[in-house]
């Protein structure tokens, strides 16, 4: 088994990812290029090969912390990542290579954003859960799968005059709404260039849905399309639109659109238990599944914890909420380079 660092992008990488059960859009070359373009992080993409071709891959980025230190993350700004391999032997070879790389780069840890644990002896953090379930070609069946109270909410937006549009031409307007939305949560916003890079690199596998009220955009969601899955990834809405049940309207429109286009899995993405997004997804009838992010720790390093759930982050979050929106849009993109 030969494990090497990928020097040139090849079609074999993406072909392997798309054929692997633990592959995701965040393993693809498109995500690599988008992250490089927006943040300038250095990639270390490991590929394991044998006589039959590619047997496994591990996408890694080298990151520097806000106060120094290095880490290897698979993958930054993605909810899924980690080792994607055909067998336990290949997984071990990739893990060994990542550990060696961390030692050579003096990285404090390797973070593997697995959807399922791949080595029971690795330190594991179950801070997040993910929500995913099959969807039907039938709109009636999809509606019936939503609990009755929330089902009623999906209809409220249309009664208030909300309408949905699909198309990338409103990407900049959506970014401004997204920036406002994460500001309310106390989180710095990603650079505008990340959204443009994702749209550029994923092409037809990326869609923008925007929601309008009286000719004004009030919400939107940037969605990744992967195999038979639809992943609404970056979403936001203006606070004033909450009274119109804008999020229920938006995600129902997206689900109907995806089902008609032939997608069969709706992946609502990750959330932390006890948060508003967690409760929203539960109310839609989705069940949480823990995300076991796994780590290789070096030199006595502790598990990293840059999550908003960390009590040490509480003051920073509340302070950020009080800053002017315009200021957060200027300094937030710089901070997110260190908050993957």
pLDDT tens figures, 232-242: 999 999 999 99
Contacts of 20 (CB under 8 A, 6+ apart): 84, 85, 86
Range of the domain at 9: 2-127+291-304
Verify that 165 and 122 share a domain, yes or no: no
Note whether residue 121 is domain-resident: yes
Verify that 123 and 146 share a domain, yes or no: no
Verify that 207 and 254 share a domain, yes or no: yes
Give the single-character DSSP code of 191. Answer: P
**What pTM did the predictor assign?**
0.95
Verify that 64 and 182 share a domain, yes or no: no
Verify that 153 and 225 share a domain, yes or no: yes
User: Which of 110, 49, 104, 116 lies closest to 76, judged by CA?
Assistant: 110
pLDDT along the chain (340 residues), means of 10: 89 96 97 97 95 93 89 97 95 96 96 88 91 96 94 94 97 98 95 98 98 97 98 97 97 97 96 92 95 92 76 85 96 94
Verify that 11 and 114 share a domain, yes or no: yes
Verify that 219 and 298 share a domain, yes or no: no
Q: Which two three-digit tokens encode residue 242? A: 């909450």
* pLDDT value, residue 238: 97
Cα–Cα distance, 277 to 271 (Å, whole number): 6
Note whether residue 338 is domain-resident: no
Of the residues 247, 263, 279, the one at which a domain ends: 263
* pLDDT value, residue 123: 93
Q: How many domains does the chain have?
A: 2
Cα–Cα distance, 83 to 261 (Å, whole number): 30
Contacts of 46 (CB under 8 A, 6+ apart): 3, 4, 5, 6, 57, 58, 59, 60, 94, 97, 98, 101
Note whether residue 147 is domain-resident: yes
* pLDDT value, residue 67: 75
* pLDDT value, residue 302: 83
Instruction: Report the CATH number that the domain containing residue 85 is assigned in CATH.
Output: 3.40.630.30
Note whether residue 212 is domain-resident: yes
* pLDDT value, residue 68: 80
Verify that 119 and 142 share a domain, yes or no: no
Note whether residue 272 is domain-resident: no
Note whether residue 332 is domain-resident: no
Verify that 87 and 142 share a domain, yes or no: no
Verify that 85 and 151 share a domain, yes or no: no
Note whether residue 98 is domain-resident: yes
Note whether residue 84 is domain-resident: yes
Strand ranges for the chain from DSSP E = 2-5, 42-50, 53-64, 70-74, 84-85, 107-112, 124-134, 163-166, 206-213, 216-226, 229-237, 265-272, 288-297
Verify that 98 and 12 share a domain, yes or no: yes
Verify that 140 and 244 share a domain, yes or no: yes
């Amino acid at each position: 088994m030969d494990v090497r660092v990928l020097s040139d992008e090849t079609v074999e990488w993406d072909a392997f990812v798309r054929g692997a059960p633990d592959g995701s859009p965040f393993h693809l070359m498109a995500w690599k290029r988008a992250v490089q373009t927006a943040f300038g992080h250095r990639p270390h993409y490991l590929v394991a090969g044998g006589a039959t071709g590619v047997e496994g891959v591990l996408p890694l980025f080298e990151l520097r912390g806000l106060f120094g230190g290095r880490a290897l993350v698979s993958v930054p700004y993605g909810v899924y990542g980690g080792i994607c391999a055909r067998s336990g032997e290949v997984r071990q070879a990739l893990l060994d290579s990542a550990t060696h790389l961390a030692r050579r780069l003096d990285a404090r840890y390797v973070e593997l954003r697995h959807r399922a644990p791949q080595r029971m002896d690795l330190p594991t953090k179950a801070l997040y859960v993910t929500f995913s379930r099959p969807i039907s070609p039938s709109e009636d069946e999809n509606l019936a799968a939503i609990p009755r109270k929330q089902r009623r909410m999906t209809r409220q937006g249309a009664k208030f005059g909300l309408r949905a549009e699909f198309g990338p031409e409103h990407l900049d307007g959506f970014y401004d709404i997204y920036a406002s939305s994460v500001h309310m949560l106390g989180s710095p916003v990603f650079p505008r260039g990340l959204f443009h890079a994702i749209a550029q690199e994923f092409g037809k596998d990326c869609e923008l849905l925007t929601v309008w009220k009286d000719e004004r955009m009030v919400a939107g969601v940037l969605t990744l399309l992967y195999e038979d899955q639809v992943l609404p990834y970056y979403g936001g809405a203006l606070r004033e639109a909450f009274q119109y049940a804008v999020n229920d309207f938006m995600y129902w429109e997206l689900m109907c659109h995806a089902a008609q286009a032939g997608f069969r899995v709706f992946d609502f993405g990750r959330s932390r238990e006890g948060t508003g997004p967690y409760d929203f997804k539960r109310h839609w009838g989705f069940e949480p599944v823990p995300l076991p992010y796994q780590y290789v720790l070096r030199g006595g390093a502790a598990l990293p914890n840059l999550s908003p759930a960390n009590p040490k982050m509480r003051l920073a979050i509340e302070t950020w909420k009080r800053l002017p929106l315009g200021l957060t849009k200027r300094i937030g993109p710089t901070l997110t380079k260190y908050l993957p």
